[in-house]
Amino acid sequence: MIKGKHYSARQTDFCLAELHIENDSVQLYSQGNVQISALYNQLNISDRIGNVSRKVVFPDGSVFETSNNDAIDHLIKDNASSLGFMAFVHVLERNMAMIFVSLFITAAVVFSGIKWGVPAAGHIIAANLPAATNKALSTNILSFMDEHLFTPSQLDEKKQQQIRQHYTNSLIPLYEGQQATEFKLHFRLWGDDKQHSIANALALPSGDIIVTDRFIELAESQDEIDMVLLHEMGHVVKRHSLEQVIEGTMLAVVVSLAFGDLSAIADTGIGVGAFLISSFYSRNHEIEADQFAYQYGLKAGIDPNKLTTILQKMELDMKLQLCSENPEKEANCLTDSTTLSGYFSSHPNSLERANKAKHFHDCFIQGLKHCP
């Protein structure tokens, strides 16, 4: 016998009632009389969730509601051939060991999904999209940057011509990829005047590689320029921009599905998390581009250490520029840095980079053209 309330069909009116069970049929008693009797398989019983009250719907649409969940479970167990999937879900929910297993699996899946799953999926999708998608990403970017960031290069024509020729004749042939990306070199001045310009090199998915005047000035040898150009080619060949779009999309979709019902305030916290994750991804891209440069640099017989040298020079130059804007504290400006900021930066940790460089440098010293 199960105690509960009996609601008339689709109405708020109810009276206290008792449900009596006999084998595969049930009788509903209220006010001392049998109100309804029905067979078990005519009933519609709601799933168990925690300890919320259960509802048994009779064929006439009236509803018996009870908080005696265990008795209802018993009724189902005695009659149904299978308990149904939701009963299995409830068994999971009650089992403490299963809860810990779920917790562990969830944590492991979330962690490895972020660390390996998203980049791997991004990599596969990016590699399989047609070359046109990659190109479409960079439409108008160069002209936009020309308008807002760059001024025309002040490097003399001869020097430009010489670098370009060396690039087309010696570097591009090194990479014999299946897809014929058209690599093109552009010279620009980044900044308003020569004294305060920025040393940098960047690559667009279309194969356009932009080098700044200050960078050419800083480079002390052709090898240094070549290594940076190879690094940028690495970004293009590995389709990093496309990967970034795909990875960002996946993160955003998963986050908005998982946390869709949180308030805007909690969203800001999630935004910071997503930012940290995506800078972790772009660090991976930098490392991959380094690897590309080392590999093909070795093929051309360039010392891998040249990449480290020129990158350090560019970073130092950037710092000097910034420090010179506050001359009074220039002395400690250069040493002032924290390890924490490493997490915010898209540049790989210098130690990680140095190890990679050393590995390839060892190969170089042994005169190898290929490094395992």
Partner 1 sequence: MNQLDFTGKGTEYFKIWIVNILLTIITLGLYLPWAKVRTRRYFHANTHLDQNSFDYHATGKQLFISYIISVVLLIIYVTLSRSNPILSAVFAGILVIASPWIIWRSIKFNLGMISYRNVRFGFNGKLAGSYINFLAYPIGLVLGFALVIAILVGVLGSILGSLLPILITLLVLSAYPAFFAFLNKVTNNYFIKGASFGQNNFSTNLEFKPFFFIILKGIGLGLLITVGALAILGLLAYLIIGAEQISNLPGQLINIEQSAQPSGFILASIVLIYSLFLIIGVYIVSYLKTYNRAYIFSKTRFDETATFHSNMHPSELFRIHITNILLMIATIGLAYPWVKIRSYRYLTETIAVNAPNGFAGYVSQTSNEGAIGEELGEAFDIGGIGF
Residue 280 C-beta: closest distance to partner 1, Å = 16
Is residue 129 near partner 1 by the rule CB under 8 A? no
Beta-bridge mates of residue 105: none
CB neighbours of 272 closer than 8 A, spacing ≥ 6? none
Total residues binding partner 1 (CB under 8 A): 62
**Contact with partner 1 (CB under 8 A): which of 42, 116, 168, 344?**
344
Is residue 44 near partner 1 by the rule CB under 8 A? no
Residue 61 C-beta: closest distance to partner 1, Å = 10
Cα–Cα distance measured from residue 88 to residue 80, given in angstroms and rounded to the nearest whole number:
14
**Contact with partner 1 (CB under 8 A): which of 80, 253, 320, 331?**
253
Is residue 117 near partner 1 by the rule CB under 8 A? no
Footprint of partner 1 on 199-218 (CB under 8 A):
none
Cα–Cα distance measured from residue 122 to residue 242, given in angstroms and rounded to the nearest whole number:
8
Tokens 């999630």 — which residue? 270
Judged by beta carbon, residue 32 or residue 327, the one nearer partner 1 is 327
Q: Which stretch binds partner 1 (CB under 8 A): 33-41, 43-51, 172-180, 291-299?
A: 43-51
Half-sphere exposure of 173 (CA within 13 A, CB side): 6
Cα–Cα distance measured from residue 174 to residue 293, given in angstroms and rounded to the nearest whole number:
11
Judged by beta carbon, residue 126 or residue 171, the one nearer partner 1 is 126
**Contact with partner 1 (CB under 8 A): which of 42, 106, 170, 324?**
106
Is residue 276 near partner 1 by the rule CB under 8 A? no
At residue 367's C-alpha, the angle toward residues 236 and 361, to 5°, is 55
Half-sphere exposure of 294 (CA within 13 A, CB side): 25
Footprint of partner 1 on 84-103 (CB under 8 A):
86, 89, 92-94, 98-99, 102-103
Is residue 221 near partner 1 by the rule CB under 8 A? no
| DSSP letter, residue 168 | I
**Contact with partner 1 (CB under 8 A): which of 220, 315, 330, 352?**
315
Residue 2 C-beta: closest distance to partner 1, Å = 17
Report the amino acid identity of residue 50. G
Judged by beta carbon, residue 207 or residue 297, the one nearer partner 1 is 207
| DSSP letter, residue 207 | S
Is residue 36 near partner 1 by the rule CB under 8 A? no
Nearest in space to 197 (alpha carbons), one of 178, 210, 214: 214
Tell me if 184 sits within 8 A of 208, measured CB to CB. yes
Residue 310 C-beta: closest distance to partner 1, Å = 15
Cα–Cα distance measured from residue 57 to residue 8, given in angstroms and rounded to the nearest whole number:
10
**Contact with partner 1 (CB under 8 A): which of 72, 185, 228, 245?**
245
Tell me if 310 sits within 8 A of 227, measured CB to CB. yes
Cα–Cα distance measured from residue 4 to residue 66, given in angstroms and rounded to the nearest whole number:
4
How many residues in total does the chain contain? 372
Q: Which stretch binds partner 1 (CB under 8 A): 152-160, 216-224, 294-302, 319-327?
A: 319-327
With H, G, I as helix, E, B as strand and everything else as coil, classify residue 14: strand
**Contact with partner 1 (CB under 8 A): which of 326, 327, 366, 370?**
326
Judged by beta carbon, residue 102 or residue 170, the one nearer partner 1 is 102
Cα–Cα distance measured from residue 95 to residue 110, given in angstroms and rounded to the nearest whole number:
22
Nearest in space to 165 (alpha carbons), one of 229, 237, 231: 229
| DSSP letter, residue 197 | P
**Contact with partner 1 (CB under 8 A): which of 15, 34, 80, 105?**
105
Judged by beta carbon, residue 173 or residue 327, the one nearer partner 1 is 327
Q: Which residues of the shown chain bind partner 1 in the complex (CB under 8 A)?
A: 7, 10-14, 47, 49-53, 55, 63, 65, 86, 89, 92-94, 98-99, 102-103, 105-106, 109, 136-137, 198, 245-246, 248-249, 252-253, 256-257, 260-261, 263, 265-266, 268-269, 315, 318-319, 322, 325-326, 328-329, 336-338, 340-342, 344-345, 347
